[in-house]
Every structure is written in structure tokens, then in C-alpha cells.
């Protein structure tokens, strides 16, 4: 049993253990890394604080880091994403201190972040840059001990690059999201499937025949649009970037401004990383019964304060649904309090994609240690060889073989003189 922790109920540990082991079956790349870490102990004695969604997949990462010798603490990166049984198993079976309770209030969330910082980490692992922001804004005393940080998500990476540009970042960060084996798979197939899963679990509505409006056309929103279309929806995409908008149009989606889409959509899903993508004027135009939710990292994409102001009544017809009744009687249904719907009402990305994301995380912590003292205060991507190695291991895990270059082909590719 870990000494310090704050979880819902340790009695859930056995259920959590089974859930973690079920997820492990789809995480062969992380398993190989764990086996190597057990032998080589590359993180021996390193104090590591992780602020991630506390799920069965994250538990497999935590087990890997602990197998590598890390002295780690895990806290939630979102108040609604914790799987309480998994948190219990990590504490009582794996002896890893966890601070995370599903549905925790804001105060508890920040107390938990504080516990991660009080661990005096040499490496931090973030999903949304909360630990880095906490250190830079309030706990600068921790910077002397810090070797570097890793960041999981697009939103966090955007923030960190802004910090580096402003000269505020004073240590190296590895942007795990920048690996191809992360964003091409986790963001697209993981968010695509788990977001639709979240909408369906929260509402049980039929997607076929509905008009689904997707805010954004980055890797996450692409996955959402693709999966909504696959389930039979008529999909509208909204964008601010002309290239992405063009891509969406040529992928076969209708593209228009949100205010035009607002009056036609049945289900609205935001995943842009920006604020107030759905705003007061959009709520005013929506149909009775519209469903709105978010799959971006922060709960700012839907202007909930505006919705609260415009409503004359608020009801809860089902778990994860707040129904706002407008003065003209229209009902707008907000899912999961505007927080990441795939983690609020479903279980987040499936293990098979988190396998690659968390292989990147584990190798990023090793990269920071191997290059200790040699890295600058900036945002790094993992080397291309690491990305290719993870992809190769994943293919092997899936039983897929591929061709290799013949020496003739290699020569051709390396020469500019041959064969035009
Ligand atoms: N982010 C999205 N899905 C996740 C999962 N299953 N585990 C951890 N972080 C996630």
C-alpha cells in the first residue's frame, strides 16, 4: 500500500486490477518497454510527478515507469476523467501514490495538483500543462531540481510553445503529441471512436440521420467527423483555417460558419483547443433538443456561462446531461459539463492507441534523462527513430509484416544521378 494517497474507495482495487490487466492485452509495445525497464532500471530513484487522466491505460504507463525505477506520484488531469477502481488498484496493489477522485471539485483538483508538486519532481508528465504552469507560476523553487517535462496533448503543446516563444520556459520539454505515432493515431482514431462512444453512452441517441456539427478539423476533429459519418450522420465541419477547411470540403463534408450550422445541427461536438466556439448567438439559433458537447482538452470551448444566463430552467434528465430550457421553451442539452466527453461519460481512448501514446511518454522520460544537461529550454519532439521503432513494434504486435528496401531501391533513393 502506498503511504500517501487520496482516492475514492480502496475496496474497488480488485475490480481496478482486472480492468488494468484487460487494457494491458491491447498494449504490447508498452509491455516490451516495461520488460526492458525492469531489467535496465533507467529511471532508478528519479522523482516523477504525472498529471494524466487516471485510466486503465495510464495505470499501465505508471506500472512501466515504476518498473523502470521511478519514484512516482500520479494525479488527475481532469476532474471527471478518473476511473476510481483503477486509482484504488494503483494505490493498494502497485503501491503508487494516486490523488484522483471522479467528480472531484475544483478545490480538491488543485489540492491534488499541489500533492504532485510537493513530491519535488525531477521529471513532470502533463496532459494539458497544469504541472508546468503550476511550477512556473507558483512553485519556481522546484525548477532547480527539474530535469525536464513531457506533454501529452495538443492544447498543452500549444501553450508550451507559446511559453518558449515568450522566453518563459526555463527547462526542456518533450512534446509527445508531436510524434507521428501519437497524433496520427490517438488524436484521430482514439478521439474519433471514444467521442462518439461518449455521446452515445450519455444520450443513447441514434447517430444515423442526424446532422452532426464538428467544430474544427485538426487531427481530433477529423477523427470525430470520420466516425460520425461512418455511423450515418450528415456531418458539417466549421473551421477558421482555410487549408483545413478545404481539406474538410474535399473529404466530403459540408463546411460553413458555426452561426449558419447552429440552426441545422442536431449534435454539436467541439475539438478546436480554442475558447467559445459555441457562443450565445449559436445557442439562440439552435433547434429544440440540440445536443452540445466538447472533446477538446479544456471546458472553455462551449460558452457555458452564456448558456446559464440565457436559460430559465436547468434540469438533469440523465446522468451527464444538463438540460437548459430557454425562455421560448427550446431545450439545449449540454453533455458532461462541457468537459472532454470521451472521458466524462465513456472510458477515453481505447488501449490500442494509448499503447503508442504511452510508449512515447515512457521513452520521452528516458530521453530526458539520457540527455540531462545537454538539452536547451525549448520544446523537443522525440527523434524520428523512436517514432519509427514504436510503429514497427506496433505492427509486430498486430501481426503485420511490411516490405524492406532492396539494395537496388536504397541506392536509387540515395542517388540523384540514377534513373530519370
Ligand atoms: N486521453 C484520452 N484517452 C485516454 C485514456 N484512455 N487514458 C489516458 N489518457 C487518455
Q: What is the pLDDT of residue 210?
A: 98
Q: Is residue 364 part of a domain?
A: yes
Examine the domain organization and report whether 15 and 133 are in the same domain: yes
Q: Is residue 336 part of a domain?
A: yes
Examine the domain organization and report whether 154 and 289 are in the same domain: no
Give residue 348 CA to ligand 1 midpoint distance, Å.
Answer: 5
What DSSP element (H or E) covers 125? strand 123-126
Residues 295-328 pLDDT 10s:
999 999 999 999 999 999 999 999 999 999 999 9
Q: Can you spell out the DSSP letters for 142-191?
A: GGGG--EEEE-SHHHHHHHHHHHHTT---S-EEEGGGSHHHIIIIIIIIH
Examine the domain organization and report whether 20 and 159 are in the same domain: yes
Q: Which atom of ligand 1 is nearest to the CA of 349?
A: 3
Best CA proximity match to 64, nearest among 132, 1, 133, 125: 125
Q: Which atom of ligand 1 is nearest to the CA of 54?
A: 8
Examine the domain organization and report whether 175 and 196 are in the same domain: no
Q: What is the pLDDT of residue 260?
A: 98
Q: What is the pLDDT of residue 46?
A: 98
Q: Is residue 415 part of a domain?
A: no
Examine the domain organization and report whether 209 and 129 are in the same domain: no
Q: What is the pLDDT of residue 419?
A: 61
Give residue 368 CA to ligand 1 midpoint distance, Å.
Answer: 23
Q: What is the pLDDT of residue 417?
A: 79
Q: Which atom of ligand 1 is nearest to the CA of 55?
A: 7
Contact 55 CB / ligand 1 (< 6 Å): yes
Q: What is the pLDDT of residue 2?
A: 80
Residues 93-138 pLDDT 10s:
999 999 999 999 999 999 999 999 999 999 999 999 999 999 999 9
> What DSSP designation does 393 have?
H
Q: Is residue 416 part of a domain?
A: no
Mutate to test the pocket of ligand 1, among 127, 189, 348 (most ligand atoms within 8 A of CB): 348
Are 122 and 73 within 8 A, CB to CB? no
Q: What is the pLDDT of residue 3?
A: 76
Q: Is residue 414 part of a domain?
A: no
Give residue 355 CA to ligand 1 midpoint distance, Å.
Answer: 10
Atom 9 (ligand 1) nearest CA: 53
In terms of C-beta distances under 8 Å and separation of at least 24 residues, what long-range contacts does 225-230 make, across chains too?
225/251, 225/253, 226/188, 226/192, 227/192, 227/193, 227/195, 227/196, 228/196, 228/267, 228/269, 229/253
Examine the domain organization and report whether 248 and 214 are in the same domain: yes
Q: What is the pLDDT of residue 416?
A: 83
Mutate to test the pocket of ligand 1, among 53, 125, 155, 186 (most ligand atoms within 8 A of CB): 53
* 176 vs 202: CA distance, rounded Å: 30
For residue 191 the three cell numbers come to 478521439
Contact 354 CB / ligand 1 (< 6 Å): yes
Give residue 102 CA to ligand 1 midpoint distance, Å.
Answer: 14
Examine the domain organization and report whether 200 and 151 are in the same domain: no
Q: Which atom of ligand 1 is nearest to the CA of 348?
A: 3
Q: Is residue 94 part of a domain?
A: yes
What DSSP element (H or E) covers 306? helix 304-310
Q: What is the pLDDT of residue 33?
A: 97
Give residue 53 CA to ligand 1 midpoint distance, Å.
Answer: 6
Contact 82 CB / ligand 1 (< 6 Å): no
Residues 148-195 pLDDT 10s:
999 999 999 999 999 999 999 999 999 999 999 999 999 999 999 999
Give residue 57 CA to ligand 1 midpoint distance, Å.
Answer: 7
Determine the average pLDDT of the residues in 200-216. 98
Residue 15, domain CATH: 3.40.50.1480
Q: What is the mean pLDDT of the chain?
A: 97
Q: What is the pLDDT of residue 296?
A: 96
Contact 348 CB / ligand 1 (< 6 Å): yes
Residues 271-302 pLDDT 10s:
999 999 999 999 999 999 999 999 999 999 99
Give residue 349 CA to ligand 1 midpoint distance, Å.
Answer: 5
Are 34 and 63 within 8 A, CB to CB? yes
Q: Is residue 404 part of a domain?
A: no
Give residue 309 CA to ligand 1 midpoint distance, Å.
Answer: 32
Contact 349 CB / ligand 1 (< 6 Å): yes
Contact 295 CB / ligand 1 (< 6 Å): no
Examine the domain organization and report whether 163 and 178 are in the same domain: yes
Determine the average pLDDT of the residues in 235-259. 98
Question: Is it the case that residue 253 has pLDDT exceeding 70?
Answer: yes
Residue 302, domain CATH: 3.40.50.720
φ/ψ of 414, rounded to 5, equals -90, -5
Residues 218-244 pLDDT 10s:
999 999 999 999 999 999 999 999 999
Best CA proximity match to 220, nearest among 181, 191, 193: 191
* 112 vs 49: CA distance, rounded Å: 11
As for how many domains the chain has, the answer is: 2
Examine the domain organization and report whether 27 and 112 are in the same domain: yes
Q: Look at the block and give the residue holding cell 431545450.
A: 331
Contact 57 CB / ligand 1 (< 6 Å): yes
Q: What is the pLDDT of residue 1?
A: 81
Examine the domain organization and report whether 376 and 275 are in the same domain: no
Question: Is it the case that residue 373 has pLDDT exceeding 90?
Answer: yes
Examine the domain organization and report whether 256 and 214 are in the same domain: yes
Would you call 86 exposed, middle or buried from its count of C-beta atoms within 10 A (0-12, 13-18, 19+)?
buried
Determine the average pLDDT of the residues in 74-93. 97
Examine the domain organization and report whether 67 and 124 are in the same domain: yes
Best CA proximity match to 46, nearest among 367, 383, 377, 386: 367
Contact 53 CB / ligand 1 (< 6 Å): yes
Q: What is the pLDDT of residue 420?
A: 60
Structural domain of 151: 10-182+349-397
Amino acid at each position: 500500500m502506498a503511504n500517501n494517497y487520496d482516492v475514492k474507495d480502496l475496496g474497488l482495487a480488485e475490480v481496478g486490477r482486472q480492468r488494468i490487466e484487460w487494457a494491458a492485452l491491447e498494449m504490447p509495445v508498452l509491455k516490451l518497454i516495461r520488460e526492458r525497464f525492469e531489467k535496465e532500471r533507467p529511471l532508478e530513484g528519479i522523482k516523477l510527478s504525472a498529471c494524466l487522466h487516471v485510466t486503465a491505460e495510464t495505470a499501465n504507463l505508471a506500472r512501466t515507469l515504476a518498473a523502470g525505477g521511478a519514484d512516482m506520484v500520479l494525479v488527475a488531469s481532469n476532474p471527471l476523467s478518473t476511473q476510481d477502481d483503477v486509482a484504488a488498484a494503483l494505490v493498494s496493489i502497485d503501491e503508487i501514490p494516486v490523488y484522483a477522485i471522479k467528480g472531484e471539485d475544483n478545490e480538491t483538483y488543485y489540492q491534488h495538483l499541489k500533492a504532485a508538486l510537493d513530491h519535488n519532481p525531477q521529471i513532470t508528465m502533463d496532459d494539458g500543462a497544469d504541472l508546468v504552469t503550476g511550477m512556473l507560476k507558483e512553485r519556481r523553487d522546484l525548477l532547480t531540481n527539474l530535469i525536464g517535462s513531457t506533454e501529452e496533448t495538443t492544447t498543452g503543446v500549444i501553450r508550451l510553445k507559446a511559453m518558449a516563444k515568450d522566453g518563459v520556459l526555463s527547462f526542456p520539454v518533450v512534446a509527445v503529441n508531436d510524434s507521428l505515432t501519437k497524433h496520427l493515431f490517438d488524436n484521430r482514431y482514439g478521439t474519433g471512436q471514444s467521442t462518439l462512444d461518449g455521446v452515445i453512452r450519455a444520450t443513447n441517441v441514434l447517430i444515423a440521420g442526424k446532422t452532426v456539427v464538428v467544430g474544427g478539423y485538426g487531427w481530433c476533429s477529423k477523427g470525430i467527423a470520420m466516425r460520425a459519418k461512418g455511423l450515418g450522420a450528415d456531418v458539417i465541419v466549421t473551421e477558421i483555417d482555410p487549408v483545413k477547411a478545404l481539406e474538410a470540403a474535399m473529404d466530403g463534408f459540408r463546411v460553413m460558419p458555426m452561426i449558419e450550422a447552429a440552426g441545422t445541427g442536431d449534435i454539436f461536438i467541439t475539438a478546436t483547443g480554442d475558447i467559445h466556439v459555441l457562443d450565445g448567438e449559436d445557442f439562440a439559433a439552435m433547434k429544440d433538443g440540440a445536443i452540445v458537447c466538447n472533446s477538446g482538452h479544456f471546458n472553455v470551448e462551449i460558452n457555458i456561462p452564456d448558456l446559464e444566463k440565457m436559460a430559465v430552467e436547468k434540469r438533469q434528465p440523465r446522468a451527464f446531461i444538463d438540460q437548459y430550457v430557454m425562455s421560448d421553451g427550446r431545450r439545449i442539452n449540454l453533455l458532461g459539463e462541457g468537459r472532454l466527453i470521451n472521458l466524462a461519460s465513456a472510458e477515453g481512448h481505447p488501449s490500442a492507441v494509448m499503447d503508442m501514446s504511452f510508449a512515447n511518454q515512457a521513452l520521452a522520460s528516458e530521453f530526458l534523462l539520457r540527455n540531462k544537461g545537454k538539452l536547451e529550454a525549448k520544446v523537443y519532439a522525440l527523434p524520428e527513430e523512436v517514432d519509427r521503432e514504436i510503429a514497427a513494434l506496433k505492427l509486430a504486435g498486430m501481426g503485420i509484416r511490411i516490405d524492406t528496401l532492396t539494395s537496388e531501391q536504397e541506392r536509387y533513393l540515395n542517388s540523384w544521378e540514377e534513373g530519370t
